[in-house]
Homo-oligomer: A and B are copies of this chain.
């Protein structure tokens, strides 16, 4: 396959401090050469390759790594959203509305909807994406949703323990057993990760531990929805179980922060969710200053965060969670990669995937300075420009 170069990069973010300035590894007047979808050289402008893409002096960043989405679903919950904005609180139970719509959809409908959202996310600069199940909640539909997700990404996550489906109403322990045995048997070939929603109204710590332990026995990696709607045991459980990521982290005690800082569990913030549910924004500053690794993800889903805009999440993280623009960009790229235990994305250095975003801006700072403005000029994913 022929090589290609993105040349004329005014400001390149590599996320590799060994090749550039500061934690973002900044290089000015740079170019990036790649072949077969992999970066083969990062250096000054003017490197030669078979094909040339001119960045025109713009800023180039690694593609966003979105480590938390629920892209496979049917139905629209815009009315529920509007009611919430008029004062109705967010509750986990709204998930069941999406379960009913998702079960009722045909395979083709689900596939078309998910593909459209994936395309939208790509236009927003997301080049690596995780997708959870969790709107099927029975063997057939969870398997189907993971199959559809698997056609889009290898980062598929089994979230049978999202909420208790109607057929198990009042029998939560039976449902947890089902998820941890028969359902897991069926879906395991289609999932890389297992996840659970540890929250009042969803599953308690013991139930989540049971689900995660069963997944680990099957060879799945572990993740956890933790401390979204209030203080709870989720973050501590995620650290105890060695989860790759504890997601939401909206309510963090000092002990939670200390646990995260003493572990390699990534604290994944979902700013658009706190926006869309009117939760208070967590103070990411405290978490970073304590030494924990942080990520930012969109949590794209029909109930609590129906966005694919990582830029929007970054802007909120800076304005309302008190990250710096540099920390927020790192969290949305390298942080996401760490939350997925990936070392081939979230960074632009030889050997990494050729996933990059050309911004319609001279600096990544514009992701925050220009909130709401679509700043993605071009996306290169595995070396393919679009």
Instruction: Give the interface of A toward B (CB within 8 A).
Output: 76-79, 81-82, 85-86, 120, 123-124, 272, 275-276, 278, 306-309, 311-313, 315, 318-319, 324-325, 362-363, 365-366, 368-374
Q: How far is the CA of A319 from the CA of B84 in the complex (A)?
A: 10
Is the beta-carbon distance between A85 and B372 smaller than 8 angstroms?
no
Is the beta-carbon distance between A278 and B363 smaller than 8 angstroms?
no
For the A-B complex with A124-B373, A306-B370 known, give 13 more contacts whose Cβ atoms are closer than 8 Å.
Answer: A77-B369, A78-B362, A78-B366, A79-B365, A81-B368, A85-B325, A276-B369, A276-B371, A306-B373, A312-B373, A315-B372, A372-B372, A374-B374
Given contacts A81-B365, A82-B325, A365-B82, contact A307 B76 (CB under 8 A): no
Q: Which residues of B contact A315 (CB under 8 A)?
A: 275, 372
CB nearest neighbor in B for A77: B369
Q: How far is the CA of A372 from the CA of B120 in the complex (A)?
A: 12
Is the beta-carbon distance between A370 and B82 smaller than 8 angstroms?
no
Q: How far is the CA of A85 from the CA of B325 in the complex (A)?
A: 8
Contact pick for A120, options B124, B366, B373, CB 8 Å:
B373
A-B contact list, 15 entries, CB within 8 Å:
A78-B366, A81-B365, A81-B368, A81-B369, A82-B365, A85-B325, A275-B371, A276-B319, A306-B366, A307-B372, A308-B373, A309-B371, A311-B372, A312-B373, A374-B374
Complex copy number for this chain: 2
Q: How far is the CA of A86 from the CA of B368 in the complex (A)?
A: 12
Given contacts A319-B275, A365-B79, A365-B81, contact A86 B372 (CB under 8 A): no
Is the beta-carbon distance between B81 and A319 smaller than 8 angstroms?
no
Q: Which residues of B contact A123 (CB under 8 A)?
A: 374
Is the beta-carbon distance between A363 and B78 smaller than 8 angstroms?
yes
Is the beta-carbon distance between A362 and B76 smaller than 8 angstroms?
yes
Is the beta-carbon distance between A369 and B312 smaller than 8 angstroms?
no
CB nearest neighbor in B for A116: B360
Is the beta-carbon distance between B312 and A85 smaller than 8 angstroms?
no
Q: How far is the CA of A100 from the CA of B40 in the complex (A)?
A: 43
Is the beta-carbon distance between B325 and A369 smaller than 8 angstroms?
no
Is the beta-carbon distance between A307 and B81 smaller than 8 angstroms?
no
Contact pick for A85, options B308, B311, B324, CB 8 Å:
B324
The distance from the CB of A376 to the nearest CB of chain B, in whole angstroms, is 9
Given contacts A79-B365, A81-B365, contact A312 B86 (CB under 8 A): no
CB nearest neighbor in B for A302: B369
Q: How far is the CA of A114 from the CA of B312 in the complex (A)?
A: 24
Q: Which residues of B contact A374 (CB under 8 A)?
A: 123, 374
Is the beta-carbon distance between B312 and A371 smaller than 8 angstroms?
yes
Which 9 A/B pairs are nearest by Cβ-Cβ distance?
A312-B372, A309-B372, A78-B365, A81-B369, A374-B374, A78-B369, A307-B372, A82-B365, A306-B370
Q: Which residues of B contact A120 (CB under 8 A)?
A: 373
Q: Which residues of B contact A366 (CB under 8 A)?
A: 78, 306
The distance from the CB of A182 to the nearest CB of chain B, in whole angstroms, is 36
Q: How far is the CA of A315 from the CA of B311 in the complex (A)?
A: 15
The distance from the CB of A364 to the nearest CB of chain B, in whole angstroms, is 9
Q: How far is the CA of A313 from the CA of B372 in the complex (A)?
A: 8
Q: How far is the CA of A307 from the CA of B324 in the complex (A)?
A: 19
CB nearest neighbor in B for A365: B78
